[in-house]
Structure 1
Amino acid sequence: MLLRRGRIPRETTDARLLAPEQDIDWLHQDPWRVMRIQAEFVEGFGALADLGPAISVFGSARIRKDDPEYALAEDVARRLVDAGFAVVTGGGPGAMEAANKGAVEAQGVSVGLGIELPFEQGMNKWVDLGINFRYFFARKTMFLKYTQGFVVLPGGFGTMDELFEALTLVQTQKVSSFPIVLVGSDYWGGLVDWLRGTMLERGTISEPDLGLLPVVDTAEEAVNAVVHGMEELFREAEAQAAAADDAGGAPE
């Protein structure tokens, strides 16, 4: 950065750094926020780099232990562990707690990616590896970078946010090999009907986009759909790689 004439500061950067008495407003300014954001990415990448195959389970924090969805989330997590996956949630209560609990009871890896909120939530007791984030976008990156698919149980705005962010990234091919499964046709059926009857009808999405959202009703179906989706995407990637090799090796 070049400074001349009236842009030259009256004191040097070193002098400002070493000044004994300063206010703390700088802690809340954008340059310092950049460092905090960077630190969250570094911490997340370091903690999750050796996680191995993992699936995220999303659902409402408001689900009680006696709700059917709580038992469903536990069952999903157990089956995911049996299929060789770690289980990653938002680390909170409700369906997230149930999924973490199911993973622990199945002797699997239970991960929680928490978020700072204006009300107390905290990390549930079934999380064995937990990271708390200040910034939603840093947390979302970890869900998408270190898991290979989403199982989405009934949930609220936070669940919808994660769901449609993932759908957008898959649709625009920013991520690949990423199956997404909705669990609960009575809960999600109306949404899928609206997508088909309104968005598809108006031409704002295409028919293949709806294929990104299979809806199932049982934990077994959910895990089978994730595994099948990953296998299909893997076969497609292998076929594309083989086609690219053939094209590269073809005679001129």
Structure 2
Amino acid sequence: MAKKQELPERVFPKAKDDAAAARSAGVLPQTSDPAYRLAYADSEFLMRDDLRPVRFQLELLKPELLLDEAGIGSTFVFYGSARIPAPDKADAIVDAAKTETQQRIAGKLKAKSHYYEVARELAQIASREGGEEDGKHQFVVCSGGGPSIMEAANRGARDVGAETVGLNIALPFEQAPNDYVTPHLSFNFHYFALRKMHFLMRARAVAVFPGGFGTFDEFFELLTLIQTGKMAVIPIILYGKDFWSRVVDFDALVEEGVVAPQDLDLIHYCETAEEGWAYVQDYYQRYTEKRFRKGRGEKH
């Protein structure tokens, strides 16, 4: 019997091999001109305005591929302010305040500093209890990768030895990932739209802490996507009922007829980490039971 022939894995060279070959070409007027560069290895070409659709696709693909390779099945997303201090830094902010207005604002930030510890503890619980399913890590903590509430979330996951995702954004002023994001799960975005998309593509629960414009943007886009049926309902935990009731009059939206009463059922208020995790667990217990009844052909 003839020996089985081993077939080559591929017949075309890999892109990185062609790029290396191109770099080894001799120095000529032709090879020195940017036009000669391989298109995918030409960063100046990729920055052209005409290439915006390609950059969109790259920002969609890169995190998706790397998260999948890292075995991230689902995430627990944390939204919240980049300005709320950790409790041990709150007094320094108050002491640094000079004017009466600054002192008043510093006092309000200090009053919200306990949410740093709540976010950290919730992240600890989710990372410890999230488990695995189909070989994928579930409820992996994901934040915007920045300071304050975002830092607290990533820090909580790190506390219990879990990996944690950071979705940073390139801004005109300095913006670096916090120290607790897992390096190979630390991503940087140019487009806010793609970043917000990645927040929700794997999200199976979202905790929203007090925050400003950025938090509002992320929170209300999430509500809109669920309200309009563009994504499935997932647990949305809103921390700080006093804060949210003061800055957004949800009941007034219902009274004005621009929001349906049942839309407010999408939000569940909590104050402690234990309450938040219990709500997520209860939600998915009911979800599982509903699917079980449906699978047996029972009415629901």
Unaligned runs of 5+ residues in structure 2 are 1-30, 36-43, 88-112, 131-138
Letter of the 1:169 counterpart? L
2:255 matched to 1:201?
A: yes
Q: What pairs up with 1:70-109 in 2 under 5 angstroms? A: 70-84=116-130, 85-109=139-163
CA distance in 1, matches of 2:48, 2:231: 33
The percentage of aligned residue pairs carrying the same residue is 37
TM superposition score normalised by structure 1 = 0.81
CA distance in 2, matches of 1:92, 1:172: 30
TM-aligned CA deviation for residue 234 of structure 1: 4.0
2:236 matched to 1:180?
A: yes
Letter of the 1:82 counterpart? R
Tell me what 1:249 maps to.
none
CA distance in 2, matches of 1:205, 1:191: 17
Cα–Cα, structure 1 residues 144 and 32, in superposed 2: closer, same or farther, change >3 Å?
Answer: same
Q: What pairs up with 1:1-252 in 2 under 5 angstroms? A: 20=33, 27-29=47-49, 31-49=50-68, 50-66=71-87, 67-84=113-130, 85-128=139-182, 129-191=185-247, 194-196=249-251, 198-239=252-293
What's the Cα RMSD here? 2.4
TM-aligned CA deviation for residue 227 of structure 1: 2.2
Question: Which digits, 9 at most, give the CA deviation of each residue in 1:213-252, with x for residues without a partner?
Answer: 1111111111112222233344445555665x99xxxxxx
CA distance in 2, matches of 1:230, 1:190: 30
TM superposition score normalised by structure 2 = 0.68
CA distance in 2, matches of 1:232, 1:178: 12
Letter of the 2:123 counterpart? A
Letter of the 2:150 counterpart? M
Cα–Cα, structure 1 residues 120 and 20, in superposed 2: closer, same or farther, change >3 Å?
Answer: same
Q: Is the 8 A contact 1:80 1:86 kept in 2?
A: yes
Tell me what 2:94 maps to.
none
Q: Is the 8 A contact 1:177 1:233 kept in 2?
A: no
Unaligned runs of 5+ residues in structure 1 are 1-17, 247-252
TM-aligned CA deviation for residue 132 of structure 1: 0.6
Larger Rg: 1 or 2?
2
CA distance in 1, matches of 2:62, 2:220: 26
